[in-house]
Amino acid sequence: MSAAPGKARRGTRFEQSAATREPAWIKWSILAASLGFFLLFVLLPLIAVFVEALRRGLAPYLAAIIEPDALAALRLTLTIAAIAVPLNLVFGIAAAWLIAKFDFRGKQLLTTLIDLPFSVSPVIVGLMYVLIFGANGWFGQWLLAHDLKVIFALPGIVIATVFVTFPFVARELIPLMQAQGREEEEAAVVLGANGWQVFWHVTLPNIKWGVIYGVVLANARAMGEFGAVSVVSGKLRGQTTTLPLQVEILYNEYNFAAAFAVASLLALLALVTLALKSWVEHRSRRADTGGSLSLEAAAAVAAANRATRTSAEKPAS
């Protein structure tokens, strides 16, 4: 062991007792394996994006970014996120509320359906919408007759994005709301609050951090979605190309510098999202503990967690 027992104890945050520690070589080999993997497959490619983008200097980089098509793609990507994420926020909270707080027939089926977008390949999602809304699809003639464009236009891209990002908010909230139970809501109703008051004053504050976390994740996916959007967008340059599609187009044209420049823009958006996510996690952890946490409260939290785990194992009746 490297650290002598009893010498400069750093509190309980790091394990100090030799009796409960693994040998050093195990520790270091696990650390090396995970860090090596992370560096090689996650960090290195991310750095490569920026290195490639800036290979020819700052001026060509900026030129590639303020190029009209790239700006249009950025604008479209942000527009889609701005529409799809709020829609999912509303749907997600509604679905989670329904599943967590009410018992009804078919609840299990609905819970499974919410996961569908995670299990279906995004390309199939795109094709599905082409089949429904495309010129030869089920509603194609009707849409054409009313001069409505869905496929190869903004509505199609938004619909595909909403579908792909649907589970993020709901999935985040369902376990949270189930763990919290209905008691606080019941208490509020007995005290005379109406449905809206219960939601606004009791339910929402309790799930606030879960909602924000779900929104951040949904936003990241909405901006980065490629497969489904690629099928329904038609890739009209400057019109229906989102940032990921723009990167692909530029790359296929062997315009590597521009491709990486646009890619770096997308990566930056992702990093901002990630930073937001970490901040939310940090804040929510602080909100959970509520400053000074008594031992009793900690025990209650542990008990609640246990209860949640056991109730999660049983299928909801």
Partner 1 sequence: MSIQVSHIHKRFGSFVALDDVSLDFHAGELVALLGPSGCGKTTLLRIIAGLEQADSGNVILEGEDASERHVRERQVGFVFQHYALFKHMTVFDNVAFGLRMKPRGQRPDDASIAAKVHALLDLVQLDWLADRFPSQLSGGQRQRIALARALAVEPRVLLLDEPFGALDAKVRKELRRWLRKLHDELHITSIFVTHDQEEALEVADRVVLMNHGRIEQVGTPEAVYNHPATPFVYGFLGSVNLFHGRVEDQVLQVGDASVPHATGGFASGAEVFAFARPHELSILTDPNATEGLAASVVRVLSFGVSSRVELDGRGSAAGQHFEVELPQAEVGKLALQPGQHVRLLPSRLRLFERSTPG
Exposed / middle / buried, residue 238 (Cβ in 10 Å: 0-12, 13-18, 19+): middle
Whose Cβ is closer to partner 1: residue 121's or residue 194's? 194
**Cα 175–chain centre separation:** 16
Whose Cβ is closer to partner 1: residue 163's or residue 213's? 213
Of 158, 285, 160, nearest to 213 by C-alpha is 285
Minimum Å gap between C-beta 278 and partner 1 is: 22
Minimum Å gap between C-beta 197 and partner 1 is: 5
Whose Cβ is closer to partner 1: residue 189's or residue 270's? 189
Residue at 266: amino acid letter: L
Whose Cβ is closer to partner 1: residue 268's or residue 303's? 303
Cα–Cα distance for residue pair 111/101, rounded to 1 Å: 13
Minimum Å gap between C-beta 187 and partner 1 is: 4
Binding site for partner 1 (CB under 8 A): 183-184, 186-194, 197, 201-202, 205-206, 289-294, 296-297, 317
Minimum Å gap between C-beta 308 and partner 1 is: 14
Minimum Å gap between C-beta 179 and partner 1 is: 12
Whose Cβ is closer to partner 1: residue 106's or residue 291's? 291
Minimum Å gap between C-beta 302 and partner 1 is: 14
Whose Cβ is closer to partner 1: residue 119's or residue 294's? 294
Whose Cβ is closer to partner 1: residue 1's or residue 295's? 295
Q: Nearest 5 degrees, angle CA 37-CA 39-CA 40? A: 65
Minimum Å gap between C-beta 288 and partner 1 is: 9
